[in-house]
Chain A
Amino acid sequence: MLILALDTATPAVTAGIVRLSGPAAAAAPAAADGTAPGPTASGPVGADVAEPVVEQVAARVTVDPRAHGELLTPHVLDAVADAGITLADVGAVVVGTGPGPYTGLRAGLVTGAALAHSLGVPAYPVCTLDAIAAGPEGAALVVTDARRREVYWATYDAGARTDGPHVGPRDEVPEPAGRLADHEQPTPAGIVRAAAPDVLAGREPGPLTPLYLRRPHAAEPATRKRVTA
C-alpha cells in the first residue's frame, strides 16, 4: 500500500510517499529466493518476519518553522510527482501529531485530515517522537525543541515508548540509556513505521488530535479598572 506521510511538529516541513507491506507478504518472496524485496527497503526481512516492510519512495523536507502552512501542500504534490503516482493512488495518510510548539503543527494535521477526507482514505495519527524513535533498535531517548527554553522528550525500548511524551526543562530529561535522537526530525519512513501495525491491521484510526502538552495561554480578565478616580 502507498502511504502519504506528513509531519509539521518540528522545524521541518515533511511530506513523503512510503510503500508499506505486511510481514506475511514480504516474507514469502524473501523466504523463496533469500533476497530482500528491494535496495531501498529499510525494514528487516528474512530473519525477523514479524516486522512490516517500509520503503520510502519519495520525500520532500524543508527546515523552516515559519513555512509549514506555505510549503506543506506543495511538498505533498512534489513527493507524489517524484514517486510517479497520483494522489488517487494513496491508500492511507499518516500524520505526526506532535508534540510540537509551532502553530504550524495544526497545518500538518488539518492538511492530513482534509486530504484523507477528499481522497476517501483513513488518516492515522502518530506521536512525532514515536516516528523519530521508530525502529526495532534497543533503548532510545528522543528530545525535540519545545521553545520557551523547554524540550519535549520520550524514552523507548525496541521501538515501544516507555516514558513520555513530556514537556519540561532539559535538565529534567533522564540520561539516554541507548541511542539519543536530539532535535532530529522524523522521516516519512519513520512516520509510517510508527503507524504500521494499525495501518496493516486496517484498524479504525484514532482522532487527529495534536499532542499540545500545554494548556492554551489565556488569562481571565481581572476586575475591571475604574476610569474615574
Chain B
Amino acid sequence: MARIIMGIESSCDETGVGLVAAHDDGTVELLADEVASSVEQHARFGGVVPEIASRAHLEAMVPTTRRAFDTAGLSMSDVDAVAVTAGPGLAGALLVGVSAAKAYAAALDVPLYGVNHLAGHIAVDTLQHGPLPAPCLALLVSGGHTQLLRVDDIAGTITEIGSTVDDAAGEAYDKVARLLDLPYPGGPPIDKAARDGDPQAIAFPRGMTGPRDAQFDFSFSGLKTAVARWVEGAQGRGEEVPVADVAASFQEAVADVLTAKAVRAATEAGIGTLVVSGGVAANSRLSALAQERCAEAGIELRIPRPRLCTDNGAMIAALGAHVAAAGHKPSSLDLSANPGLPVDTVLV
C-alpha cells in the first residue's frame, strides 16, 4: 500500500502544497504540485519583501491545499503524513507553513516531519529520475542559495562542500538584470537576451578561482560589480550597451564557475552522479555546460524539469516520503521554524 505524503513549502515567495505516493519499492510518485506565487508583488521592490511574502502565504495556504487535493483526486483522510519546510528561509514566511502543517497533522492525527528546504531541492529529483544513488553530489543554485553538497543519504546525511561567500547566483542575475533594465526576477530575461549574444564578447572575472581561493566556494559579488563597471564605462563613452553580449558573457561566467567546481568536486571525491537543482538550474547555459562537462568527465547528470527546480510543495513531500520510509522519528507538534537551519539537519 502506497503511503500518501503531503508537503508544505513557504520559505520564500512561493506557497507550495504537494502530494506524493511513497511506494513499497522505494519509488515516490508525484500526485499534485500546486504553487501560489507572490513574485509579482515583489517585482517593484527588486527583491522579496518578507512582510509581503508572509501576508501572501497566509492568504494562499488553504486555497492552495484545496487545489492540491482536487488535482490529486484525494481527500484529506487519505493523508498518512505531513511534511513541511522548517527552514532555512524567511522567519515570518516559514511560520505560516509550519503552523498550517501542525494544524493539518493534528487534525488528521498523522505524523509531522519538519524538514530542510535545501534537502527538498535534491529529493525532488527522485520524483522524475527515481531513487538517488549514494553518494551523489548536488549543486543547488537559486535566488536564495548557491551550494555544493555531498549527499550520502537524502533522508539524513548531507554535507556541505562549498557555498557562496556573498551573493547567491540568482541574486547576481537579479542585480545584473536591473543594470540592463531587464525585469525582475532576472534569470529568465537574461537567459533570453543571452541567446542573441556572444558569450566570449566580454571577459568577465570568474570569482573564487584563484590558487589561494577556497576550491569549492563561490563568489558572485565581484562579477556583479565588474558587469556594472563595464556597463557604466560604455554609457560614459556615450555608447549603446550591447545587452545581448553583456547578458551572454555574464551568464557564461556564472555557468563556467558553477559547473567547473561541481565537476571537479565530483571527480575528486569519486562521485559518479551530479544533481543540479534550484531555480537557476532551469538556465539554458548552465544546463548545457553541465551536460558537456559531465559527459567529458563520465559523470551522470540529473536535472529535474524546471517546474520541479523552483520552490514547491512536491519537493517537501518527496523529502518527507524518504524521511518517513527511513523510519525516522517524526517531529514534535511544538516544532518551531528555524530560519537559519543548517544544511546538514535534514529533519528537525
Partner of A73, one of B45, B52, B61, B99: B99
* Closest Cβ–Cβ distance, residue B99 to chain A (whole Å): 4
* Closest Cβ–Cβ distance, residue A76 to chain B (whole Å): 7
- CB contacts under 8 Å to B, within A81-105, are 87, 103-104
Partner of B108, one of A118, A216, A217, A221: A118
Contact flag A218-B45 (CB < 8 Å), given A106-B96, A111-B100, A227-B232: yes
* Closest Cβ–Cβ distance, residue B83 to chain A (whole Å): 15
- CB contacts under 8 Å to B, within A183-219, are 209-210, 212, 216-219
Contact with B along A110-148 (1 / 0, CB 8 A): 111111011100000000000000000000000000000
Main secondary structure of the interface of B (DSSP, over half): helix
Tell me, yes or no, whether B300 is within 8 Å of chain A by CB. no
Tell me, yes or no, whether A149 is within 8 Å of chain B by CB. no
* Chain B residues, Cβ within 8 Å of A212: 55
Tell me, yes or no, whether B203 is within 8 Å of chain A by CB. no
A132 to B74, CA, bound (A): 40
Partner of B334, one of A74, A115, A224: A74
Contact flag A69-B95 (CB < 8 Å), given A220-B45, A227-B232: yes
Smallest Cβ-Cβ distance to A112: which chain B residue: B103
A189 to B315, CA, bound (A): 41
B178 with A224: CB separation less than 8 A: yes
Tell me, yes or no, whether A228 is within 8 Å of chain B by CB. yes
Tell me, yes or no, whether A45 is within 8 Å of chain B by CB. no
Residue of B57, B103, B106, B225 ringed by the most chain A CB atoms within 10 A: B103
B96 with A117: CB separation less than 8 A: no
A72 to B232, CA, bound (A): 53
Residue of A73, A109, A115 ringed by the most chain B CB atoms within 10 A: A73
A106 with B95: CB separation less than 8 A: yes
A227 with B334: CB separation less than 8 A: no
Contact flag A103-B95 (CB < 8 Å), given A69-B337, A74-B333, A114-B62: yes
* Closest Cβ–Cβ distance, residue A108 to chain B (whole Å): 8
A210 with B337: CB separation less than 8 A: no
* Chain A residues, Cβ within 8 Å of B103: 73, 76, 110-112, 114-115, 118
Tell me, yes or no, whether B91 is within 8 Å of chain A by CB. yes
* Chain B residues, Cβ within 8 Å of A110: 57-58, 61-62, 96, 99-100, 103
A217 to B51, CA, bound (A): 7
Contact with A along B69-96 (1 / 0, CB 8 A): 0000000100000000000000110011
Smallest Cβ-Cβ distance to B233: which chain A residue: A228
B334 with A71: CB separation less than 8 A: yes
- B residues engaging A (CB < 8 A)? 44-46, 49, 51-52, 54-55, 57-59, 61-62, 65-66, 76, 91-92, 95-96, 98-100, 102-104, 106-108, 178-179, 225, 228-229, 232-233, 236, 333-337
Q: A103-B95, A227-B228 are in contact. List 12 more A-B contacts (CB 8 A).
A: A69-B99, A72-B102, A73-B103, A74-B334, A103-B54, A106-B54, A110-B57, A110-B61, A110-B62, A117-B65, A218-B49, A220-B45
- A residues engaging B (CB < 8 A)? 69-74, 76-77, 87, 103-104, 106-107, 109-115, 117-119, 209-210, 212, 216-221, 224, 226-228
Jot down 24 A-B pairs with beta carbons below 8 A, ordered by A. A69-B337, A73-B333, A87-B107, A103-B92, A104-B95, A106-B55, A106-B57, A106-B96, A107-B99, A110-B57, A110-B58, A110-B103, A114-B99, A117-B62, A117-B65, A118-B76, A118-B104, A212-B55, A217-B51, A220-B44, A220-B45, A221-B178, A226-B228, A227-B228
